[in-house]
Amino acid sequence: MESRFGKEQVTTFRNETRVVVPKADLLSTMRMLKEARSFDLLVEVTCVDYLNFRDATDRFGLVYVLANTITNERLIVRIMLNEPDLKVDSLCVLWNGANWLEREVYDMFGIEFVGHPDLRRILMPEEFTSFPLRKDYPMQGRGERHNFPVLTRNQA
């Protein structure tokens, strides 16, 4: 693993191996991991916003958790993203299960997955304009939760 990705890119924490991959190599790396190393299950796609995080150099860390269901190994692949270029290749071509996971990451963080068959919001209403899990989005929202008509006794 270290020989392939370079020593500084591979770290281990509590028996979990993590590797940081350049963004351009994502699809080829994942295809190699799936086909040659039989990491056949995509467990999770998620994202971390490193805004105001200590010692952080990149804004977003996109996290893929892979599992090898034969040997029970796990591998965490991470790619770093920075604004304004928040486009990544979609992994739907490799795992169909990536479809909704990537939609959720798009919904919450605004990462655009190129090649995704149906990249719409999955949790928030379609008209929602913000990406609520970004750290620069206020936790109480920007007034969306109060933006409804008020029904009184006389009206209904």
Partner 1 sequence: MALEQATRDLPENVVVTKLDELASWCRKNSLWPMPFATACCGIELMATGASKHDLARFGAEVFRFSPRQCDLMIVAGRVAMKMLPVLQRIWQQMHEPKWCISMGACASTGGVFDTYAVVQGIDRFIPVDMYIPGCPPRPEQLIQAIIDLQDKIQVEGTIGGAEFETAQRQERKRALQELPMYGHSHYFHPESAVAQRSSAIGSH
Residue 136 binds partner 1, judged by CB under 8 A: no
d(CA 90, CA 102): 8
Which region, judged by CB under 8 A, interacts with partner 1, from 48-56, 69-77, 98-106, 143-151? 143-151
- For residue 154, the minimal CB distance to partner 1 (Å) is 7
User: In terms of CB distance, is 41 or 124 closer to partner 1?
Assistant: 124
Residues 6+ apart with CB under 8 A from 109: 47, 49, 60, 131, 133, 134
Which region, judged by CB under 8 A, interacts with partner 1, from 17-25, 27-35, 96-104, 137-145? 137-145
d(CA 36, CA 53): 36
Which region, judged by CB under 8 A, interacts with partner 1, from 11-19, 49-57, 59-67, 141-149? 141-149
d(CA 70, CA 19): 21
